[in-house]
Amino acid sequence: MKFTVLSLVAGLALALSAQAEDVTAKITDVHLCCGKCVTGVEKAVGTVDGAKATADKDAGTVTIMAPDKATAQKAADALVKAGYFGKCSDDTVKLIPHTGAKGEKVKTMEVSEVHLCCDKCVKGVNAALKDVPGVTGNTAAKGVKTFEVTGDFTDKDVFEALQKAGLTGKVAEK
């Protein structure tokens, strides 16, 4: 009987320690064209207590390390808020873009919170938007906080294209 109780206690202790293990989530297809992009990722995730990120510019990956899933999710949220996007290897950690797009046809749209630290980032935005049906132009530039997209297009298509390119943003508040 003592052996059974001890086995149950040991099993419970192992289960609890397994739940408290660190979480590592690898995010692929992230726009990381330069050292400033890498620094931006690490800075964004660094705002979350207990979370760290390692960005591999050449591979286009970000690895988030956190003490638990809730902290890992907060880190992923911080990454998206900083204008980065990708695909996550951990199904319990979601990259959730809050773009504000409604699936409506528009002629102009102000976009904010896209990571634009350098000319390569701007080229990434331009390349992503050139294939969006109805987009005829944009004013994205290095270091801007917002830019305008023009044409006759669906707002959600803009963000889907940016996310496919490893970036994201949101409809700017007016």
pLDDT exceeds cutoff 50 at 11: no
Which has the closest alpha carbon to 114: 149, 82, 138? Answer: 82
Average pLDDT over residues 100-122: 97
Expressed in angstroms, the distance from the first to the final Cα of the chain is: 70
Q: In angstroms, rounded to a whole number, what is the distance separating the alpha carbons of residues 63 and 163?
A: 18
| Domains in the chain with CATH codes | 20-88 (3.30.70.100), 105-171 (3.30.70.100)
Q: What percent of the chain has pLDDT over 70?
A: 89
Question: Where does the pLDDT of residue 173 fall: very low under 50, low under 70, confident under 90, or very high at 90 and above?
Answer: confident
- Residue-wise pLDDT tens digits, 58-90: 999 999 999 999 999 999 999 999 999 999 998
pTM score of the predicted model: 0.86
Centre a 10 Å sphere on the Cβ of residue 74 and count the other Cβ atoms it contains.
Answer: 20
Q: In angstroms, rounded to a whole number, what is the distance separating the alpha carbons of residues 54 and 38?
A: 8
